[in-house]
Amino acid sequence: MAAAFIDVEDVALRYRPHGAVEGTLAVEGLSLSVAEGEFVAVVGPSGCGKSTLMKLVTGLQFPSAGRVRVAGDAVTGPVNIAGMAFQNPVMLPWRTTAANVLLPMEIVQPHRSNIRRNRASYHERADALLASVGLEGAGEKFPWQLSGGMQQRASLCRALIHEPKLLMLDEPFAALDAFTREELWCVIRDLQAEKGFTTVLVTHDLREAAFLADRVLAMSARPGRILAERTVDLPRPRDLEVIYTSEFADIVYELRGHIAHARS
Ligand SMILES: Nc1ncnc2c1ncn2[C@@H]1O[C@H](COP(=O)(O)OP(=O)(O)OP(=O)(O)O)[C@@H](O)[C@H]1O
């Protein structure tokens, strides 16, 4: 069998703020693997360690026990083959949208060395990506001139501009209204189908998980570990109509049961 693209093996992480003796055991006995190109959603009760899992996989936190490997390598620092988007798009207000999208290029090599010389071609690249998510012509606007949904589209572009092999999404649609959220589901669905990156999505929305993912992992209450997993075998490409089928409702109902069990 091919090696997993993400391999988390028996991981524990205890946060110890300065001076704290005990600290908070966020995850323990956490194991999971994700195949290359797979779309995995992670659901679980509030505070169970979902964001901690994201930080462990992207190298923003390191385990107190166990090991984390991404693309075959032990994670020892920030993983630059990953792109990330969060609930709050956090755009720099003094930069245009295109300049915000290009931020990772100013950090990740070889772009960091090239961007000064080829700024025009990098801007073209940002504009093309923005257009592909329905933001044609928005590159020169400032983030505060965009709606919340448009900012979140731009934030996805920023996560993808360096063509990461891995996209990590931490509740990116949670603050949006229901219609905008569904539009964004379709944006992610299409981007992933086109580019084939491996995706991990943390969400509280079980419909979102079932619509987008190949597999949904349900975490236990803190300290988080994987309690159950559900393969979503609905055929692709998935249309929003699928949400109203009984097959879909059954999957969501089963996931809801796992969360209720984890909370009890
Ligand atoms: N930097 C930190 N220092 C101390 N404790 C932390 C830190 N980050 C998270 N925690 C604690 O670790 C636990 C897990 O947090 P985490 O943010 O991973 O959970 P979550 O499942 O993403 O939560 P939510 O669903 O509410 O977003 C929580 O009890 C949280 O308070």
pLDDT tens readout for residues 80-129: 899 999 988 889 999 999 999 999 998 887 888 888 888 889 999 999 99
Name the residue of 51, 173, 220, 263 to mutate for ligand 1: max ligand atoms within 8 A of Cβ.
51
Q: Whose CA is nearest to atom 12 of ligand 1?
A: 26
Residue 55 confidence (pLDDT) above 60:
yes
- Which atom belonging to ligand 1 lies closest to the Cα atom of 48? 21
Question: Is 200:169 a contact under the CB 8 Å cutoff?
Answer: yes
> What ranges in the chain are assigned the alpha helix state H?
50-58, 97-101, 111-114, 119-132, 148-160, 178-195, 206-212, 246-263
Give the C-alpha separation, 20 to 42, whole Å: 29
The band of 199, judged by pLDDT with boundaries at 50, 70 and 90, is: very high
In the DSSP assignment, the letter for residue 117 is T
Residues 6+ apart with CB under 8 A from 191: 132, 133, 156, 160
Per the prediction, the chain carries an average pLDDT of 94
Instruction: Judge if the beta carbon of residue 46 lies within 6 A of ligand 1.
Output: yes
Instruction: Judge if the beta carbon of residue 15 lies within 6 A of ligand 1.
Output: yes
The two three-digit tokens of residue 80, written as one number: 């630059």
Question: How high is the pLDDT of residue 184?
Answer: 92
- Ramachandran class of 144: left when φ > 0, alpha when ψ lies in -120 to 50, beta otherwise: alpha
In Å, how far are 21, 205, 215, 253 from 208, measured between CA atoms? 39, 5, 12, 13
Instruction: Judge if the beta carbon of residue 48 lies within 6 A of ligand 1.
Output: yes
Give the C-alpha separation, 48 to 34, whole Å: 20
Q: Whose CA is nearest to atom 6 of ligand 1?
A: 15
Question: How high is the pLDDT of residue 188?
Answer: 95
Indicate the pTM of the whole model: 0.95
Instruction: Judge if the beta carbon of residue 220 lies within 6 A of ligand 1.
Output: no
What is the per-residue pLDDT across 21-38, written as a single tens digit (0 to 9) for each? 788 999 999 999 999 999
Instruction: Judge if the beta carbon of residue 222 lies within 6 A of ligand 1.
Output: yes
ipTM over 0.95: yes
Residues 6+ apart with CB under 8 A from 20: none
Residue 169, strand partner residues: 85, 201
Every domain of the chain with CATH number 3.40.50.300 lies at 6-81+165-263
Q: Whose CA is nearest to atom 7 of ligand 1?
A: 15
Instruction: Judge if the beta carbon of residue 87 lies within 6 A of ligand 1.
Output: no
Instruction: Judge if the beta carbon of residue 26 lies within 6 A of ligand 1.
Output: yes
Examine residue 223 and say whether the peptide bond preceding it is cis (omega within 30 degrees of 0).
yes
Give the C-alpha separation, 123 to 98, whole Å: 7
Using the mean position of ligand 1's atoms as its centre, give its distance from the Cα of residue 125 in Å.
36
H/E element holding 236?
none
Topology of 6-81+165-263 in CATH? Rossmann fold (3.40.50)
Give the C-alpha separation, 12 to 25, whole Å: 7
- Which atom belonging to ligand 1 lies closest to the Cα atom of 53? 18
Cβ of 199: how many Cβ atoms within 10 Å? 23
The band of 195, judged by pLDDT with boundaries at 50, 70 and 90, is: very high
Question: How high is the pLDDT of residue 134?
Answer: 92
Using the mean position of ligand 1's atoms as its centre, give its distance from the Cα of residue 259 in Å.
17
Using the mean position of ligand 1's atoms as its centre, give its distance from the Cα of residue 264 in Å.
19
- Chain center to CA of 86: 7
